[in-house]
């Protein structure tokens, strides 16, 4: 497909994932310019509408992570502006960002997801362990956040209060989810087709923000060393989760595989990291797409009729 439109790469923003977003956006901008495309990098702020107009943006490549970028907000603005954009639409973005609504849809579609409770920050008393039907250990995370920000593994009752307090720094509600011991797996989706799964092996045993973004802290196994049947199963479940939320273009679906190899869907990332060493580009490379080819394919998907709504 010939791409002759002026592209705006939207990055930065004000979420807790701002720095990661800037890295993704700059990598995308370099890759598109290297292909001879007309590109404008835009650090999204209150003047974003004026920046889009001044840059004569005709198609937006969204590299915004977290709130304001993955929650349907920027997608709605682009819809009103009549500007095609990469990735999922308003509703799918909002659903994927909210872990409670995501899980409810996974369950409705028969996809395994760890059992959970939601606890609100305005509750007068902390939740006692006796109120958690699946017991310890649990994972505590903000209801609407990414990049493992504010996430804790709680193995003892005394750790629960501080973990909730940390999660509430990033939102008004927290998800308390049964911890699934086993493997950390992610599956990228590109054009409705699953990419090779990746296993993340963190040196600390916990694939948190530090493990994600500190060189040498995590080993990435691409493709994940799974039996053929398990590999097909996680790819099929990833595709089903992507479709259950109504996602479009591309996404990345995160799993835990328990000690029996049973996969549990954790969440769907509608704007996954897009640095040249991020997980989606690693999976795409294993499928034969270099970084430039990946960025171009994502743009093509955005421009195909109806793919961005």
Q: What CATH number did the domain enclosing 206 receive?
A: 3.30.470.20
User: Exposed (0-12), middle (13-18) or buried (19+): which is 302, by Cβ within 10 Å?
Assistant: buried
Report the alpha-carbon distance of residue 68 to residue 71 in Å, rounded: 6
pTM above 0.85?
Answer: yes
- Radius of gyration, CA atoms only, the chain: 19
Q: Which one, of 151, 157, 165, lies nearest residue 267 by Cα?
A: 151
Same domain, 133 and 230: no
Q: Which member of 93, 230, 251, 269 is catalytic?
A: 269
Per-residue pLDDT of the chain (309 residues; tens, 9 = 90+): 889 899 999 999 988 889 999 999 999 999 999 999 999 999 999 999 999 999 999 999 999 998 889 999 999 999 999 999 999 999 999 999 999 999 999 999 999 999 999 988 766 567 788 889 999 999 999 988 765 678 899 999 999 989 998 888 888 889 999 999 999 999 999 999 999 999 999 877 667 666 666 667 789 999 999 999 999 999 999 999 999 999 999 999 999 999 999 999 999 999 999 987 899 999 999 999 999 999 999 999 999 855 444
Identify whether 1 is part of a domain: no
Q: Write 197-204 long-range contacts (CB < 8 A, 24+).
A: 197/223, 197/224, 197/226, 197/231, 197/234, 197/235, 197/238, 197/283, 198/222, 198/223, 198/224, 198/279, 198/282, 198/283, 199/224, 199/225, 199/226, 200/279
32 and 169 co-located in one domain: no
Query: 80 with 190, same domain?
Result: no
Tell me which of 89, 267, 289, 296 is the catalytic residue: 267
Q: Exactly one of 273, 278, 289, 296 is catalytic; which is it? A: 273
Q: Is 85 a known active-site residue?
A: no
**Residue 309 maps to a domain:** no
The enclosing H or E element of 167 equals: helix 160-168
Quote the pLDDT of residue 308.
42
Q: Look up 273 and say whether it is catalytic.
A: yes
Which residues is 252 bridged to in the sheet? 188, 269
Does 8 participate in catalysis according to the annotation?
no
Beta strand residue intervals within the chain, DSSP E: 7-11, 39-43, 59-62, 116-120, 138-142, 152-154, 173-178, 183-190, 193-194, 198-202, 218-221, 250-257, 263-269
199 flagged as catalytic:
no
Determine contact, residues 187/256, Cβ cutoff 8 Å: no
Catalytic residue among 252, 278, 289, 296: 252
Torsion angle, alpha carbons of 249, 33, 2, 69, to 10: 30
Whether 256 sits among the annotated catalytic residues: the reply is: no
Active-site choice (101, 209, 213, 220): 213
Q: Residue 306 has what pLDDT?
A: 53
Residue among 15, 21, 88, 147 flagged as catalytic: 147
DSSP string, 106-143: HHHTT-----EEEEETT-SSPPPGGG-TT-SSEEEEES
**120 & 167 share domain:** yes
Has 145 been annotated as catalytic?
no
Q: Which domain holds residue 162?
A: 116-178
253 domain-assigned: yes
User: Domains in the chain: how many in total?
Assistant: 3
Read off the CATH number of the domain in which 145 is found: 3.30.1490.20
φ, ψ (nearest 5 deg) of residue 178: -60, 130
- For the question of residue 38 being annotated catalytic, the response is no
Question: How far apart are the C-alpha atoms of 26 and 276, rounded to whole Å?
Answer: 10
């Amino acid at each position: 497909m010939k791409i002759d439109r002026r592209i705006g790469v939207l990055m930065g923003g004000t979420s807790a994932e701002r720095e990661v977003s800037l890295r993704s956006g700059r990598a995308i901008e370099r890759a598109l310019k290297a292909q001879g495309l007309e590109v404008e990098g835009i650090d999204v702020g209150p003047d974003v509408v004026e920046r889009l107009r001044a840059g004569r943006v005709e198609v937006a490549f969204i590299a915004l992570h977290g709130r304001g970028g993955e929650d349907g907000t920027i997608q709605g603005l682009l819809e009103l502006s009549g500007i095609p954009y990469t990735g999922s639409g308003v509703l799918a973005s909002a659903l994927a960002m909210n872990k409670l609504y995501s899980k409810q849809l996974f369950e409705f579609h028969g996809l395994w997801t760890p059992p959970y409770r939601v606890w609100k920050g305005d509750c007068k008393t902390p939740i006692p362990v006796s109120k958690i039907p699946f017991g310890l250990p649990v994972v505590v995370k903000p209801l609407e956040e990414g990049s493992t920000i504010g996430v804790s593994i709680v193995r003892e009752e005394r750790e629960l209060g501080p973990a909730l307090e940390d999660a509430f720094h990033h939102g008004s509600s927290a998800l308390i989810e049964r911890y699934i011991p086993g493997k950390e797996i992610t599956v990228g989706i590109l054009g409705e087709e699953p990419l090779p799964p990746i296993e993340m092996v963190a040196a600390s045993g916990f694939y948190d923000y530090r493990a994600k973004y500190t060189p040498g802290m995590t080993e990435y196994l691409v493709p994940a060393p799974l039996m053929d049947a398990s590999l097909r199963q996680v790819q099929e479940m990833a595709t089903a989760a992507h479709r259950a939320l109504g996602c479009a273009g591309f996404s990345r679906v995160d799993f835990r595989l328990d000690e029996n190899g049973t996969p549990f869907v954790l969440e769907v990332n509608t704007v996954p990291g897009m640095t040249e060493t991020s997980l989606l580009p690693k999976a795409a490379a294993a499928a034969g797409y270099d970084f430039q080819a990946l960025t171009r394919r994502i743009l093509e998907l955005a421009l195909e009729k109806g793919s961005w709504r």
